[in-house]
Amino acid sequence: MEAKTLAVRRKTTLKAIIEAALRREIRPSMEPDNPDPSRFEVGPFGILRIRKASGSPSTTVAQVRAVQEALENEELERMTHPQRS
């Protein structure tokens, strides 16, 4: 009965209060451990990523394509000459 009264005071439902409490209890166990907060951050989707230095230039599409091409060339080289690996 006390929980229903609290829900009415907060202008919400008992179900919404219970859902929020369960989400709060589950969330800490789902967050990834951050080994070095000065170097890494948790992104908007909860995935650990490298923290950008302030003032550093953004990665361009051309840079991404160059890296993809280099990886594809390396894979092609490994497949055509397996003994060199």
The 10s digit of each residue's pLDDT in 29-50 is 555 677 788 888 887 777 788 8
Helices within the chain (DSSP H only)? 2-9, 14-30, 61-80
The distance between the two most distant Cα atoms of the chain, rounded to a whole number of Å, is: 74
Q: What is the pTM of this model?
A: 0.36
Domain count, the chain: 1
Domain range for 15 is 2-84
Sign of CA pseudo-dihedral 66, 69, 71, 74: negative
- Average pLDDT for 4-32: 78
Under DSSP, the state recorded for 52 is P
